[in-house]
Structure formats: structure tokens, C-alpha cells
A and B are shown apart, each in its own frame.
Chain A
Amino acid sequence: MTNAIETRKLVWAYQKQKVLNGIDLQVPKGAIYGYLGRNGAGKTSTIKLLMGLLPAKRNSVYFEGKEFVANREQILQKVGSLIGDPAYYNLSAKENLQVLDDIYHCGKRRIMEMLEITGLADDKDKKVPKFSTGMKQRLGIAMALLHDPDVIILDEPMNGLDPEGIYEIRELLLKLKEVGKTIFFSSHILDEMEKICTHVGILERGQLIYQGTLTALLKDVPKQVTVLCESPETVCSLFTGQQFDAYVEQSNKVSVRLNQSQSFGDFIRLLAKADTTVYNIESNNSSLENIYLNLTSNV
């Protein structure tokens, strides 16, 4: 199946410094693809290259199998994007959408529909400077979605939003997925990514260090268990003797990593054999945050 977005050896350098070093993105149709990476990792540069705001090399960006540079205008008809929160501050929310409508010819009904969906219908005649950060972000999303694009690219859409705003955006993205849209978005809010993404890509130092489904990512990465006990050396040697990755963390603490073939049950059975008093066992869930930190610390 053709990917909605694909990059092949995508590179970008800024002032002779490599920002992106051969990125091969594969965003399946209908996916919510979360693009993760620390500040300066190259997330926004990737998005700008995808949208043609930075000059990508020929044959490095594809949308639904079509090369971007050669088919720029045709592709952009089907792509909506939000990079920052651009809007005309001398105009109202409705007028901002009308500016785009002059190009896309979506009609007044569609403008009203977008204002309803993004919860701006009551403030449609208010000028943008009077908007809160969340309202500006929602207006940006309304502008990105106005022409009913198949692919939606959002750069940190949850930035600066309060919990309610984040919830609204999350629900909106899920609704869009339900109607078959492909969503590619970057974010720092890992909890939110975990809640909505079907796929993730992790960018570190200009390289894609992981790409795939979120389920596979959460499954593949080892769990870490911390044991608080009287004699950590005994526990540590017991586990290392049985091919577990264990080390003494503090004077009374042992950390044990469980790989895919080692279950939590195996761990408990082995721990029961240890001749020591156990005070506590803490299991770190394989949350995206832990996985992300684990993966990026290994690069």
C-alpha cells in the first residue's frame, strides 16, 4: 500500500551543520503519526521540507506516491498544515478563513462548519489579537482543515494549550482519523502522543532512531524493575547468573531489565529464591516517555 507521506534519504543542513541526515519517513494512510524529538532535533525542519517551505532535494519527498517538487501545487491541494499559529491579526476569525476560501473555493457553509468544529463559531467576528493562545491554535487548525485535506501536517499543535484545549485538539484529531484522514504531527507532550498515535517516529540528532507502530514500540522495549532489599549484591548476582540485565543502583536497590523473553512472572519466581528480605518492588511501565528516554540516551 502506498504511504500517505514518504521521504527518501531526506537531508537538510543549516549553516554547514547537518540537521537531518537521511530521514526515511513512512506514514501510512489513515495513521496518526507522532513525530518525536527534543528541541532542535529537526522536527520543524522536516515539516518545512515536507511542505516545501525549505527546498527539499528532488525525489526525497513523496505524498501518496507522487514526488513533491514535480507535483507541488497538485499535492498542496490535498495537504493542510499548521506551522506556528499564522493568522492575519487585522482580521476576524471568519475573515481569516475567507482569505483562504478565495483560493480554495470551499464556500461559506464550509467556513461556518470549520468554525463550529473548532469551537470558534461564537467568536467568528472577533479580531485575532483578542483570541487566547488556545483559540489562535484552533483557528490555525480550522485554516489547515478548511479545504478538507486528506493529509494534515501539524507542528506542535498542542503547544501552549491548557488541559481543556489539549483535550479538544486530541478529540478533533481522533475524529479526523475516524473519517480516514492521515495526520502527521510533532509534539513534546508524550502522554498525548501515547493516547492518540497509531505510529511514531523518533528523531534524534538528525536521525530517525525508531519508526513503527506505537504498539510494537511499547511491546519491544524491556521493562525495568527496581527491587528494594536488604542485600542487593546477592539479588544482583542471582539475576545476572540467569541472563538478566541487573545492576546495583544504590546500597539497597537493584535494577533489573526484562527483555522480551523474560516475563515478570520469571522475575518474581527467581526473586523468591533469593535469600534476602525484600522491602519493595517497583515496576516502571513501558510508557512512551521511558521508551523515548531510553532510546535517545542510547544514541
Chain B
Amino acid sequence: MKSMIDLLQSEHLKIRKNWGVWLLFIVPVVITLIIDINIAMSHSGITNFQGNPWMSKLGQPLLLMYVLLFPMMIALCVHSLFDLEYSRMNFKRLYVLPVSKRMIIWAKFIVVVEILGLSTLFAYWLLMLSGNFFASTLPKYHFGDFDMNPVFTAFFVRMFIICLSVAFLQYALSSLFCKFSVPVGIACVGTVIALIASPWKYIYIFPYNLIANYMKDFTSESVAILTPSVIVALLYLVVFGAATYLFLSRIKV
């Protein structure tokens, strides 16, 4: 246990100045700010807003950007984490530490879960902060009249699980191909395919189905968490996690 804590401390120090990690926190801030500014600038013609502002004004544009960009940002972030060890032959230093290889790889997995968890939580917090801010500053939108917390919570939990399976798929691809272009390219193409194929009945079996999940579950204000896409993502999480473990433990050093 002590070795795991030591490894996690060491991993945190390594990623502190990693651009890929910061990307997952900076992009949500930028997107939220753009949408917030848009809401603030376009209120002059409105006297009494009809409908649910959480959905139409804030949630839909913001979350659409998240589901479009998160798989690609995850691909960039995960590859930067992998490259930190790979490009400068740091696996040679890492695998001669007096700690088991298994524990080293598990520490890396935990860090991925942690980054993604914090990033999703941060994105959720930004959304709620924006809505509550407008509830007090622009009352004509009636943000305060709706409790969208259950819908958003369910959405972000689903997003976290699906993104986690994507993260492990990306980790497996990065450790298999080692190059930047292949895993990141696959994530971009995968997201576009998911967008095009989102009406398909079985789209939930496609790993990059986050955008389809948004189209189906969020727009219907679903509060279900264990949707088919989440169940498949949990299954993928195990499969891709095992593949990543295998590739990382056998990586040529």
C-alpha cells in the first residue's frame, strides 16, 4: 500500500506540468465561458423566456461541445501520459524501480481514472455554476425554476464511464502504436463515425458512442445511469484495461 502511495505521489509530480492533462481542464473553462458570454450578450430582446433554459440555452450547446471534444481530448491526454515514459526511454528508469511492474501499471491506471474523474466533475461544476449564476443575474431566463441536477448528474456519470473506456482504449492504442498520429487519428475518426451513425440502433456497441449517447439519453432528459452504452462501456473498460496492461508490461525498453 505504501509503495502504491509513493508511486502515485511520483506520478502526480510527473504530470504536474503535462499539457495533455491541463487540456482536460482548460477546454471546459473556455467552452463554458464562450457559451456564458453568448447567453449574456443575447438576453436584450428577451422579456420572459419560455422553456427550460438549462436545456436549450446552456446544457445542449455546452454538452454537445463536451461530447464532441472529450474523446479527442482524452486521446491527446492519454497519449501525452504514455509519451512521457516512452519518448525519452523513461520506461527503462521506471521498470528498474524497486516496486513491482504490476503496481507501476496500476498506479498509471489510477492516475487516468483520477484525471478523468476530476475533469468530468470540474465540467459538471462549471455547468452548474453557470446556471446558478444566470439564475441570480438574469432572472428573466428562469434558471431558478428548474431542478436539472438529476439529469445533469446522470449525464456526467454516463459520460465519465464511457470516457473512461475510451481512455483505456486510447492507452492501449498508444502503447501498441507508440506514435502520436495513430491513436489520436483513430479517436477523431471514431467520433465522426459515431456522429454519422448515431441513429443506428446498435450504436452503443461502438466505443466512441458518447455523442450518440448525448443525442438519445440527454435530449430525452433521461436520469438512468446503467443504459446499454454504459453497460457496454463497463465491459470495454475491463477489456481495454487488460489490453493496456498487457501492452505496457511487455513494452520494448
Q: A residues bordering B, Cβ < 8 Å? A: 48, 51-53, 72-77, 79, 81, 83-91, 95, 98-100, 102-103, 105, 143
Partner of B84, one of A83, A90, A95, A102: A90
Q: Bound state CA distance, A77 and B96, in angstroms?
A: 9
**Beyond A102-B10, A103-B98, A103-B99, 6 extra complex contacts between A and B, CB < 8 Å:** A48-B253, A73-B100, A86-B93, A95-B13, A99-B14, A105-B6
B89 within 8 Å of A by Cβ?
yes
B253:A88 contact, CB within 8 angstroms: no
CB neighbours of B84 from chain A (8 A): 88, 90
B43 within 8 Å of A by Cβ?
no
B201 within 8 Å of A by Cβ?
no
Q: Bound state CA distance, A2 and B238, in angstroms?
A: 47
A103:B6 contact, CB within 8 angstroms: yes
Q: Bound state CA distance, A89 and B253, in angstroms?
A: 18
How near does chain A come to B12, taking the closest CB pair, in angstroms?
9
How near does chain A come to B146, taking the closest CB pair, in angstroms?
44
Known: A86-B88, A87-B90, A90-B84. A81 touches B96 (CB 8 A): yes
Q: Would you give 15 A-B contacts (Cβ < 8 Å), ordered by A?
A: A52-B96, A53-B92, A75-B98, A76-B98, A84-B89, A86-B90, A88-B84, A90-B14, A95-B13, A100-B97, A103-B6, A103-B10, A103-B97, A103-B98, A103-B99
Report B8-32 CB contacts with A as 1/0, cut-off 8 Å: 0110011001100000000000000
Size of interface on B: residues with Cβ below 8 Å to A: 24
Known: A86-B93, A102-B10, A143-B93. A73 touches B98 (CB 8 A): yes
| Chain A: CB-nearest residue to B7 | A103
Known: A83-B92, A90-B84, A103-B7. A76 touches B97 (CB 8 A): yes
Q: Bound state CA distance, A52 and B6, in angstroms?
A: 21
CB neighbours of A75 from chain B (8 A): 98
B177 within 8 Å of A by Cβ?
no
B202 within 8 Å of A by Cβ?
no
How near does chain A come to B199, taking the closest CB pair, in angstroms?
43
Q: Bound state CA distance, A293 and B3, in angstroms?
A: 48
Q: B residues bordering A, Cβ < 8 Å? A: 3, 6-7, 9-10, 13-14, 17-18, 84, 87-93, 95-100, 253
A91:B88 contact, CB within 8 angstroms: no
Partner of B92, one of A86, A90, A98: A86
How near does chain B come to A159, taking the closest CB pair, in angstroms?
14
Q: Bound state CA distance, A85 and B95, in angstroms?
A: 14
How near does chain B come to A128, taking the closest CB pair, in angstroms?
8
| Chain B: CB-nearest residue to A92 | B17
Q: In the complex, how many residue pairs between chain A and chain B have their CB atoms under 8 Å apart? A: 71
| Chain B: CB-nearest residue to A153 | B96
B88:A88 contact, CB within 8 angstroms: yes
| Chain A: CB-nearest residue to B2 | A105
A90:B17 contact, CB within 8 angstroms: yes
A99:B10 contact, CB within 8 angstroms: yes
Q: Bound state CA distance, A75 and B17, in angstroms?
A: 32
| Chain B: CB-nearest residue to A75 | B98
- Residue from B9, B88, B97, B99 whose CB has the most chain A CB atoms within 10 Å: B88
Partner of B90, one of A51, A88, A102: A88
B90:A53 contact, CB within 8 angstroms: no
CB neighbours of A90 from chain B (8 A): 14, 17-18, 84
CB neighbours of B99 from chain A (8 A): 73, 103
Q: Bound state CA distance, A98 and B100, in angstroms?
A: 20
How near does chain B come to A45, taking the closest CB pair, in angstroms?
12
Q: Bound state CA distance, A53 and B92, in angstroms?
A: 7
The 9 closest A-B pairs by CB, nearest first: A102-B10, A76-B98, A102-B9, A86-B93, A77-B98, A86-B89, A86-B90, A84-B89, A73-B98
Q: Bound state CA distance, A233 and B97, in angstroms?
A: 64
Q: Bound state CA distance, A76 and B100, in angstroms?
A: 11
How near does chain B come to A118, taking the closest CB pair, in angstroms?
16
CB neighbours of B17 from chain A (8 A): 90-91
Q: Bound state CA distance, A24 and B202, in angstroms?
A: 60
Q: Bound state CA distance, A51 and B97, in angstroms?
A: 10
CB neighbours of A86 from chain B (8 A): 88-93
Q: Bound state CA distance, A87 and B88, in angstroms?
A: 6
Q: Bound state CA distance, A105 and B97, in angstroms?
A: 13
B253:A91 contact, CB within 8 angstroms: no
A91:B14 contact, CB within 8 angstroms: yes
Q: Bound state CA distance, A254 and B242, in angstroms?
A: 69
B95:A53 contact, CB within 8 angstroms: yes
Partner of A76, one of B10, B18, B90, B96: B96
CB neighbours of A77 from chain B (8 A): 98
